[in-house]
Amino acid sequence: MTTGPRLPARARLLKAADQVLFDQGIRATPVDALLQAAEVSAATLYTHFGSKDALVAEALRIRLADWQGVWDQHIVAADNDMARLLAVFDALASYRRDQDHPSRWCAFLAAATELPAAAEEISAVLAADTALLATRLLHFSRPLAGLRAQDLADEVLLAYSGTLTAFLRGYPHSPIDVGRRLARSAAEAHGRK
């Protein structure tokens, strides 16, 4: 534990939210548990965020930005078209290995499921995540599938989503490897034509 000089209350709250909420469940975690994890008083939470939902939304936005950053790193490290397309799986592996971001499967999909009547704010993050994936995967699909790029991008997004879901199923065959294989064979199939 790198306990440093103790973060300010707002940051502690966001960190606790990210670590507890998306791992134990959003609705299943009462505000009190969050306060305890963040070592913060109730009043502080509500002066900073106004509501639990707003804190959830902010934590989701930050998680999306973090995730995007990790993905970026794996993209620049890739040295060919196929590796760039598959970088999303390496990014997922490294993001999940990071103990700072435990989560049962996917924070965005979980939020959409747990808060169906979610404030615009919350469902917007899942939309943003989906849009980010769709845009980038389409971009990386072009050199591999040409006119069929959209089809390949759809397929890789599906493989990626399936990988996330496999964590929820507790399926034992290292989902990330399976997802990568699936995406690769889809890409090769398009390349052949």
Partner DNA sequence: CCAAAAACAGAACGCTCGTTACAGTACAGT
Partner DNA sequence: ACTGTACTGTAACGAGCGTTCTGTTTTTGG
List residues near a copy of itself by CB under 8 A. 24-25, 27-28, 104-105, 109-110, 112-117, 126-127, 130, 134, 150-151, 154-155, 157-166, 168-171, 173, 175, 178-179, 181-182, 185-186, 188-189
User: Taking CB under 7 A as the rule, which mask of x and - marks residues 49-88 in contact with DNA?
Assistant: -xxxx-----------------------------------
The least CB distance from residue 146 to a copy of itself, in Å, is: 16
Determine, following the binding rule CB under 7 A, whether residue 41 of this chain makes contact with DNA.
Answer: yes
Comparing CA positions, the residue from 193, 161, 18 lying closest to residue 92 is 161
Partner that binds at residue 98, options DNA, a copy of itself, none, CB closer than 5 to 8 Å by kind: none
Partner that binds at residue 74, options a copy of itself, DNA, none, CB closer than 5 to 8 Å by kind: none
The least CB distance from residue 121 to DNA, in Å, is: 13
Cβ atoms of 164 and 109 within 8 Å: the answer is yes
C-alpha–C-alpha distance, residues 137 and 143, integer Å: 11
The H-assigned helical ranges of 39-174 are: 42-48, 52-77, 81-97, 107-114, 120-145, 149-169
Structure tokens at 190: 């398009």
Partner that binds at residue 32, options DNA, a copy of itself, none, CB closer than 5 to 8 Å by kind: DNA
Give residue 102's region: left, alpha or beta (phi > 0; psi -120 to 50). beta
The least CB distance from residue 16 to a copy of itself, in Å, is: 17
Ranges assigned E (strand) in the chain: none
| Total number of residues shown for the chain | 193
CB-neighbour burial class of residue 150 (10 A; exposed 0-12, middle 13-18, buried 19+): middle
Structure tokens at 14: 């966001």
- For a copy of itself, the closer of residues 75 and 109 by Cβ is 109
From the list 29-37, 101-109, 166-174, 178-186, the region that binds DNA by CB under 7 A is: 29-37
Determine, following the binding rule CB under 7 A, whether residue 168 of this chain makes contact with DNA.
Answer: no
Determine, following the binding rule CB under 7 A, whether residue 4 of this chain makes contact with DNA.
Answer: no
C-alpha–C-alpha distance, residues 161 and 110, integer Å: 12
